[in-house]
Structure 1
Amino acid sequence: MIQMKLVSLAVLLFSIQSAIGGKVLVFPVDESHWVNMKVLIQELHSRGHNITVIRPKNARHIEAETGYYQSITLDVVAGFDVNDFNRYETRVLHLRRDFYASTLSILKAREEFITMLLHTHKAVVDKMEETFEDAKLMQLFHEARYDVLLTDPFLGGGVLLAHRLGLPLVFNVRWTILADGLQTVAPSPLSYVPIPGSEMADKMTFWERVANVLIALRVLYSQVQIKRQYYAPFIHRYFGPDVHYDELVLAADIWLMRTDFTFEFPRPTMPNVVYMGGFQCKPPKPLPKDLEDFVQSSAEHGVIVMSLGTLVGTLPDDMAEHVAAAFAQLPQKVVWRHTGKRPSTLGNNTLLLDWLPQTDLLGHPKTRVFVAHGGTNGLQEAIYHGVPIVGLPLMFDQDDNLFRMRGRGVAKVLDIGTLDTDTFLDALKEVLHEPSYRENMQELSRLHRDQPMKPLDRAMFWIEFVMRHKGAAHLKTQSYKLSWIQYHCLDVIALLLFLIVVISLMCILTVKYFLFKVFGGRKRKTD
């Protein structure tokens, strides 16, 4: 009887110990990137893990207090400066709407983006230096004994802190410095892997391949500029003169990639890359009663949903007038996230909201079209729910994202610079009434959903795997420890070419020698 009690106690103690979750330190990026990270944090919390989020003082979306994580507010950088971004956004919208904007002006706007990025990375490094020099803070981090650091490598703060603390590192990633995550971690032959922003597919003509190489060189130049100018001095100071930023990034244990191959073109991958595209997508919840009543009032015509994402809540007034006028001519009901001035052309069929439950609306059976700017989150949700798209790309990767959707026959993409009432109305009618858009998107949705494990569950498994095993070294290649010359075997090629040249010369000299002996000797005998 006593033995049974002891066994029961041991089982109870074991179950309590196994139920205790790990300690996760999160170094996020703000704005739309936080939307993704928040999903992972909530799920980790629901599984019993203890979450600590490093929250920047000037965070716009990262809350200080929640029920599912504790935060440490520090003077670190987790996004673009608000004033810099607002100026850039205004500049880009002006150029896109200027029919006479020269190619030089557009290129200048891209250079302004690079300048903004340079300022951001400089601020990242400056603030991380202050963090590293705060002995008490670093001691607290060490004493907390975290099991893993989860970060978004779009900015480098989390990468630097993980290596300073000696923690296993997991990325929630779509972008690294100016490159997509796959381009950073996996082989990316330029012959069939298009550079993001090139608006090219995986089947390229000769001249498209030339353009792809030139774009890749331009991106590489900007990356080197950022790394050498800001990260290299910092890393040499704190990690040693032989350490490079790329080594720290590529040493990450797991890359949770916010995409999949319903969105990406087929390309090489790596063992420690885990695809979790659409991980934030969930079955729709019931809408609030007033919104549900509005949606139901659309009868057989259905609903159009419009949202331009986290960063852009409104459009210029004249453009908003065109959009509202086009909506007013349709029999469908429209739910539009719009925070600006109420357009004078707004019809009775259009409901303006400061915020809308996007995924619940997209999953509603009456939703017919999604008017979107082309951010990855919105496109993944549209794919998940099988809703075709009218695209209005504004900046960053949005043109390229919508180019991929257009290539799959699920989106009609408009140039915001030539947008007027008629063009917008025609695009809406085309997507509403041409069945192929919806059929193609529903097929994409079936492909995306037809997998043995939900993307969010897959992400959780690998984060917990890293915590259980203190990393995932067996999944990482040693390529990040090789120099560029070694990686491409240029030293081997040089040796082989040298040997070929030497052997060829020896053969030529040997033949010449024998020819001279034979014919030279005969000539002397004849003489």
Structure 2
Amino acid sequence: MGGLKEVCCLLLVSTLFFTFCLPSAMAGKVLVFPVDGSHWINMKIIIEELHARGHKVTVVRTATSWYVKEESPHYKSITVTLPKGVIIEDEDFFVSFLSKMLEIQRGRGSPLAFIKFFWEMLSALGIFTGRQVSWQWRYLKNQTLMEELRSTHFDLALIDPGTPPGVLVAHKLGLPMVFNVRWITSGEGHFVVAPSPISYVPTSGFAASNQMTFGERVKNAGYYILNNCIDRFIVSPPYNALMTRYFGPDANFYHLLQGADLWLMRVDFVFEFPRPTMPNIVYIGGFQCRPAKPLPAELQQFVEGSGEHGVIIMSLGTLLKGLPAEITSEIAAAFAQLPQRVVWKHVGERPKNLGNNTLLVNWMPQNDLLGHPKTRLFVAHGGTNGVYESIYHGVPMLGLPLLFDQFENFLRLEVRGAAKAFDVSNLKSQDFLKAIKEVLHQPSYRENMQRLSRLHRDQPVHPLNNSIFWIEFVMRHKGAAHLRTESYKMPWYSYHSLDVIGFLLAVMLALFGAVILIMRLLCLRMCRRQKSKIE
């Protein structure tokens, strides 16, 4: 009997070993088109896991890339050199854009500020779209590159459609497509692939909850119409012109997006509002989160020296060099008045008023700091990676949203009582200090964030493992067409059943008309009979 138990234990251990420790039996070839900056941070995690399971990964990068390195043990790279005017990874562009946005936000509330805001947004979008289209055109016309990709016989294309050259290349090569996505060229990805009723689904660019008042629903409808106009008249035309040139007159760029086999959506409904979805959307929000590792010795010493007060960490992400000097000086002055120690990721001019309790660093192990027991607060701009890491470790946030979806991200946390957003454009040290103390000393912020953390962690499968399973699923079955709706091929009037409504109205009108006609005929007949009787 004891021998039987030993054999069973051995078989169980062997099964677990072959299941989790050995590379995937079906090693495939994966072509990756990433987006730089913070997007690359989470794409890299998926690439490393694919490599660990035996898959061969090839990453297409540009020579000017910030974070996508040419040499890596986890992937082979193909580097494409672009002319200066086509460079997407232009940090000065984002810094200049941020400065203009902050200046406009100082006059928030006035109609002129609103017009300026959208003018700058549309101008930046036009420049960015032009660069991307030029970038794609150079990819598609590069016969050497296309032949190299075609001869490798990839099994799948893994794409971040935030910048969409990979979508066109994958379509040209006839590869199944998996998106690692939250944002696409026209906004939040759900609005392209899933039903999105604007009565309770906040549209891209409008910071509102899913329980909107009548006035908010009116604004939401306005933003939805505006986004569609921007997409129709600014974003789509250059892409569709490119599509016509390389794929024929009937090709449509958004049909390519909607035709992706699988959408790995960087969303978790602990954070996102409930909304309709589709079978080919797999939710992997927080897949980059992991238990904290030990800190580097110098940083560990600084954190441990904070005593009972603990530490605050601050980071404004990867794309921006930093805030204007007058704002960073106000932030530094507020930090200097706190008993907590502060670890501040800051690149650029050293802020004035910097206190002895504040450590400036060019880089920080953000996940490991958030997981340290002495961390009390995370001051951040509201990028998705930082938000999910904060949720995972249960650390409340004070938000300094700057651009794009960061305002909406903090609105979602504020609704759940786990964070407080602060207007960085008019930041004064005493107001900022008051906001810090509110989040630090009101227990509800930490309690609510820890509740979100428990919900987020309570999953049957880790989101990273889930994402790898579905990537390998698409490889094994050479696509996942059975999960994808074909509704995007329908004309708009058919999609909204306007033709059916029109037909039913016509039938009802015809029946109503027939009834009226019959009644009139009967009335006339009766009148004639009565007339005949009288005569």
Interval of TM-score (by shorter of Structure 1 and Structure 2): over 0.9
**Equivalent in the alignment of 1:31:** 37
1:466 matches 2:474: yes
**Equivalent in the alignment of 2:287:** 279
Task: Give the C-alpha shift of residue 101 in structure 1.
Answer: 7.4
**Equivalent in the alignment of 2:361:** 353
| Matched position secondary structure for 2:299 | helix
**Equivalent in the alignment of 1:59:** 65
Task: Give the C-alpha shift of residue 299 in structure 1.
Answer: 1.0
| Matched position secondary structure for 2:179 | strand
**Equivalent in the alignment of 1:4:** none
Cα contact 2:87–2:131 (8 A) shared by 1: no
Task: Give the C-alpha shift of residue 294 in structure 1.
Answer: 0.7
* Alignment equivalent of 2:97, drawn from 62, 80, 88: 88
Taking only aligned residues, the RMSD between alpha carbons, in angstroms, comes to 1.9
**Equivalent in the alignment of 2:133:** 125
* Alignment equivalent of 1:21, drawn from 15, 22, 27: 27
Task: Give the C-alpha shift of residue 370 in structure 1.
Answer: 0.3
Cα contact 1:369–1:387 (8 A) shared by 2: yes
| Higher mean C-alpha displacement, 51-60 vs 114-123 | 114-123
Cα contact 1:227–1:245 (8 A) shared by 2: no
Quick one: which amino acid aligns to residue 262 of structure 2?
A: I
| Higher mean C-alpha displacement, 115-124 vs 454-463 | 115-124
| Higher mean C-alpha displacement, 507-516 vs 15-24 | 15-24
* Alignment equivalent of 2:210, drawn from 171, 187, 202: 202
1:192 matches 2:205: no
Distance 1:490 1:370, change over 3 A: same
TM-score (norm 1): 0.94
**Equivalent in the alignment of 1:245:** 253
Q: Aligned partners of 2:474, 2:87: CA distance in 1, in Å?
A: 24
Quick one: which amino acid aligns to residue 342 of structure 1?
A: R
Unmatched 5+ residue regions in structure 2? 1-17
Q: Aligned partners of 1:132, 1:118: CA distance in 2, in Å?
A: 21
Quick one: which amino acid aligns to residue 93 of structure 1?
A: L
Distance 1:361 1:228, change over 3 A: closer
Distance 1:26 1:287, change over 3 A: same
* Alignment equivalent of 1:300, drawn from 300, 308, 314: 308
Cα contact 2:23–2:52 (8 A) shared by 1: no
| Matched position secondary structure for 2:322 | coil
Cα contact 1:59–1:78 (8 A) shared by 2: no
**Equivalent in the alignment of 2:430:** 422
Cα contact 1:78–1:155 (8 A) shared by 2: no
Cα contact 1:23–1:147 (8 A) shared by 2: yes
Q: Aligned partners of 1:107, 1:81: CA distance in 2, in Å?
A: 25
Q: Which consecutive aligned stretches of 4+ in structure 1 deviate over 6 angstroms post-superposition?
A: 15-18
Deviations 1:210-263 (A, max 9, x none): 111111010011111245421112112222222211111111011000111011
Quick one: which amino acid aligns to residue 324 of structure 1?
A: A
| Matched position secondary structure for 1:53 | strand
Deviations 1:412-440 (A, max 9, x none): 11111231111111111111110000000
Cα contact 1:305–1:335 (8 A) shared by 2: yes
Cα contact 2:23–2:53 (8 A) shared by 1: no
**Equivalent in the alignment of 2:12:** none
Q: Aligned partners of 1:90, 1:18: CA distance in 2, in Å?
A: 48
Distance 1:273 1:100, change over 3 A: closer
Distance 1:35 1:439, change over 3 A: same
**Equivalent in the alignment of 1:232:** 240
Quick one: which amino acid aligns to residue 261 of structure 1?
A: F
* Alignment equivalent of 2:299, drawn from 284, 291, 300: 291
1:408 matches 2:416: yes
Distance 1:524 1:131, change over 3 A: same
Quick one: which amino acid aligns to residue 60 of structure 2?
A: I
Distance 1:83 1:18, change over 3 A: closer
| Higher mean C-alpha displacement, 396-405 vs 203-212 | 203-212
Task: Give the C-alpha shift of residue 17 in structure 1.
Answer: 10
Deviations 1:129-177 (A, max 9, x none): 2322232322211110001001111122111011000000000001112
Cα contact 1:170–1:255 (8 A) shared by 2: yes
Distance 1:82 1:339, change over 3 A: closer
Aligned length: 513
Q: Aligned partners of 2:91, 2:311: CA distance in 1, in Å?
A: 34
Residues 349-388 of structure 1 mapped to structure 2, 5 A cutoff = 349-388=357-396
Task: Give the C-alpha shift of residue 316 in structure 1.
Answer: 1.6
Task: Give the C-alpha shift of residue 265 in structure 1.
Answer: 0.6
**Equivalent in the alignment of 1:69:** 75
1:148 matches 2:162: no
Task: Give the C-alpha shift of residue 325 in structure 1.
Answer: 1.3
Distance 1:278 1:117, change over 3 A: same
Deviations 1:443-474 (A, max 9, x none): 00001010100000000101111111111111
Q: Aligned partners of 1:228, 1:26: CA distance in 2, in Å?
A: 24
| Matched position secondary structure for 2:187 | coil
Distance 1:57 1:524, change over 3 A: farther
Quick one: which amino acid aligns to residue 88 of structure 1?
A: F
| Matched position secondary structure for 2:59 | strand
Cα contact 1:185–1:270 (8 A) shared by 2: yes
Quick one: which amino acid aligns to residue 122 of structure 1?
A: G
* Alignment equivalent of 1:316, drawn from 324, 344, 350: 324
| Matched position secondary structure for 1:242 | coil
**Equivalent in the alignment of 2:263:** 255
